[in-house]
A and B are shown apart, each in its own frame.
Chain A
Amino acid sequence: MPKFQRSSSDSLHLQADVLVLGGGPSAAWAAVAAAESGAKVVLADKGYLGTSGATAPSNTGTWCVPPGDNRHAVVERRWQRTGELADPRWMLRCVDTAYRNLLKLSEWGYPFPSEDDGRLYIANLRGPDYMRFMRRRVLMAGVTVLDHHPALELLSDGDAIVGAAGAARQAGHDWRVDARAVVLATGGCAFRERILGGTGLTGDGYLMAAEAGASLSGMEFTGKYTLAPYGSSLNKGLPFRWASFHREDGSPILGPTGEPLRNGIGVREEEVARALIEGPVYARLDQAEPTLQGWLRQGQPNCFVPYDRAGIDPFTELFRITLRAEGTVRGTGGIDIVSDDCATGVPGLYVAGDAASREIMTGAVSGGGAVNSSWALASGWWAGKGASVHAKRRGGKAFRSTVRPLGQAGLRPAASPRDDIGASEVIDAVRNEVTPLDGNFFRSGVGLEKSRERLESVWREVRDHLRGEGPDRVRAREAASIAAAGRWSVAAALRRTESRGMHRRTDLPGKSPALAHRLVITGVDQFRIAGAPERLAELAS
């Protein structure tokens, strides 16, 4: 167990080998992996390990590829769909490690369903059950779990990251963990869209990592939206695979061939998005025959909660729908990984899950629906191992020097704090630029340029004046993280002068061969965007 001290100001101060920030699957796997290597591990989550994050409220399909030569073909087929930006080597090692961890889950006794022949079906993980199970495994591994302990900033000793500090929001005091290595598993940025798991996913890890000097990539790929019953949080597209779609006047929405649309997911979201920009859209799950209806109800029960509570039969009645923006959660952007152990290039800082860029796994298309959950299983494992190796190497050196906290925007404004700049106004202003369908699902150079200007002015106010007191410190930091993520996303989208995957430029349709590479962003206030070749040259120099 890590040392437990409470200083006079009643703040919590712990020491550990590895500190994991986050409480979703990637954090849980990182914590288990590090503890298994003999590291003393502390896990600090903004919410509650077991219910927080994007997986816990959902039902996640994994990308489950059993061992064998066929894996190469499976990976190759998937790669074809990634807009040429993914890396088959990472995809292959991800499916291998994810498969091993799925088998581990079954050895540990996770209650998987069975197929007709009696074999366990391990390719699907029901969120609430999976994450509750993982909480138990994390505690059994001897990890100290701090629920409701959002991290506000990283700590550095000048050579490496040596911990983090934050607020214990229920206990009402500060916390600090000195650690030989830190894993960021803080999830994606949902820009405060009201989606499952969305409230806590504000991109805090991106800002913390960038302040420490890490780079980001794939931030332009935030054009993924998922269908949901209007006004609900249920951003789960699967039932809409068997639906028809109609305008207010009852006329059907047509697919690209002129036939009425019968499947609203995947690339077909485009037709629905176009119709939604014009006016309200209604759907009915009338393409699902009765047996399938039963499976949908039983297998995806939360999808039916909104209908049941509103008193609607979605298989026979029309109901209003919306497309929910998903930021980098079902987008692909995040912290850039520089080596196989999920290191960020900043000594002592590792990254896993949605906090990491998933461009190497899924390129310009969404990894939601299979790839992302396997990525969380695998990258969590690697990051936990990588962090514990680093911790061993650093040994006693870690806690010797003076420690400096790295947090800036939202915590330590560059100029005097101003009361008239509040977290919710900042978040609303960013949302206006990065969530509307007609600005972000369909993008244009002119629109992006206007968004960029507006986000720059939001950012200047945040940088110079935003600060919260007490419990509002967390909100201010979340708003700063959202502002930073929005700004990076729009800047990268402007730089990608083409259309690729979920980045749809109406002024520049089609892919440009010259842009078949990743865009890497470095810096916070003054940042630069480099194409992958430039970046390689930079790393080599």
Chain B
Amino acid sequence: MIEIVSATRCIECDICVKVCPTNVFDATEGGVPVIARQDDCQTCFLCEIYCPTDALYVAEFAEGPTGISEAEVEERHLFGGYARALGWKRGKAGGSEFDPTHRIRVAQ
């Protein structure tokens, strides 16, 4: 579930407000977006990869917040982890041409 909007990383572009498919965020006047409807989060991690500054953190537990702190996410280098694994950078798509899923299907 979405847990962190890092005020130190966020540049207030409001892209997450627009792209979150479940309308979890609200934009704020002159500030970082707020998590307004956390329980609607479907833990899809897509806001993370669209964020140009890796300012969002979605924890793995889908049933409720875990309470993880921004300091821990920073220390464990978890910000932007899913984007890096896909090959997306600064909110831009990339990496699908290196997807080896066809090899998995053969092994299957």
Contacts and interface: CB of A to CB of B under 8 A. Distances in A.
Contact of B46 (A56, A123, A296): A56
Size range of the interface on B?
Answer: 35 or more
Given A51-B20, A52-B21, A61-B105, A229 B46 contact: no
A43 B17 CA distance: 20
B8 to A, nearest CB: 20
Most chain A CB atoms below 10 A, which of B21, B23, B108 = B21
Contacts of B50: 51
Contact of B104 (A114, A198, A229, A292): A292
Contact of A299 (B20, B88, B101): B101
A197 B18 CA distance: 16
Nearest to A312: B60
Contact of A113 (B42, B78, B86, B97): B97
A200 B22 CA distance: 7
A124 B63 contact: no
Interface in A20-53: 23, 46-48, 50-53
Given A232-B60, A232-B62, A302-B45, A56 B99 contact: no
Given A298-B99, A301-B86, A128 B46 contact: yes
B93 interface: yes
Interface in B49-108: 49-50, 59-63, 78, 81-82, 85-86, 88, 93, 95-105, 107-108
Nearest to A294: B100
Contacts of B105: 61, 123-124
Most chain B CB atoms below 10 A, which of A52, A115, A300, A310 = A52
A231 interface: yes
A392 B55 CA distance: 48
Contacts of A170: 17, 23
Contacts of B81: 305, 308-309
A137 interface: no
B102 A198 contact: no
Interface in B29-58: 40-46, 49-50
B60 A306 contact: yes
B19 interface: yes
A93 interface: no
A132 interface: yes
B93 A298 contact: no
A121 interface: yes
A233 to B, nearest CB: 4
Given A199-B42, A241-B108, A292-B107, A231 B63 contact: yes
Given A128-B86, A199-B21, A113 B98 contact: yes
A148 B23 contact: yes
B96 A305 contact: no
A520 B50 CA distance: 42
B83 to A, nearest CB: 10
A399 interface: no
B99 to A, nearest CB: 5
Contacts of A241: 108
A400 to B, nearest CB: 36
Contact of B61 (A128, A197, A232): A232
Given A113-B102, A232-B62, A295-B104, A199 B22 contact: yes
Contacts of A56: 21, 44, 46
Interface string A56-67: 110101000000
Contacts of B17: 170
Interface string A240-274: 01000000000000000000000000000000000
22 contacts: A47-B20, A51-B50, A53-B21, A57-B44, A110-B96, A113-B102, A123-B105, A129-B96, A169-B23, A196-B43, A197-B21, A198-B42, A200-B22, A229-B60, A231-B62, A297-B85, A298-B98, A298-B100, A299-B101, A307-B60, A309-B60, A309-B78
Given A51-B44, A147-B18, 13 more contacts: A23-B21, A50-B19, A56-B44, A113-B99, A113-B102, A123-B102, A194-B63, A196-B42, A196-B44, A198-B42, A232-B60, A233-B43, A301-B82
Interface of A: 23, 46-48, 50-53, 56-57, 59, 61, 110-115, 121, 123-124, 126, 128-130, 132-133, 147-148, 169-170, 194-200, 229, 231-233, 238, 241, 292, 294-302, 304-310
Give the top 6 A-B pairs by smallest Cβ distance, nearest first. A47-B21, A52-B21, A301-B85, A233-B43, A57-B44, A299-B101
